[in-house]
Amino acid sequence: MSWTLLFTERYNRRAARFLRRHPELRDAYRKTLLLLEANPHHPSLRLHALKGRLQGMHSVSINISYRITLELLIDGQRLIPIDIGSHDTVYRG
């Protein structure tokens, strides 16, 4: 069973800005989204729960430097991307 990505307007703006700044990551970003829909627990995504201020959120990797934070709603298998950017950017909350 596949998962459903639910994009908010706020996230779409952040993702568009991120991709304008990093056009070389467009393919890696697309691959990340496809893997999330197919299996968010795929090892290459490095899905993990966050702690502290971001408790209740999860993170996946686009590559070694860039992440997507998201809400993982198990009921209904929905994923809601929240933020995208460098490790330091998305983890500052």
CATH assignment at residue 85: 3.30.2310.20
Q: Total structural domains in the chain?
A: 1
Q: What pLDDT, in 10s, does the model give residues 8-29?
A: 999 999 999 999 999 999 999 9
User: If 0-12 CB within 10 Å is exposed, 13-18 middle and 19+ buried, where does residue 36 land?
Assistant: buried
Identify the pLDDT of residue 62: 95
Report which of 47, 57, 54 is spatially closest to residue 81, judged by C-alpha positions: 57
Q: How far apart are CA 42 and CA 92, in angstroms?
A: 25
- The boundaries of the domain holding residue 36 are 4-91
User: Nearest 10 degrees: CA dihedral of 78, 61, 89, 79?
Assistant: 0
Identify the pLDDT of residue 6: 92
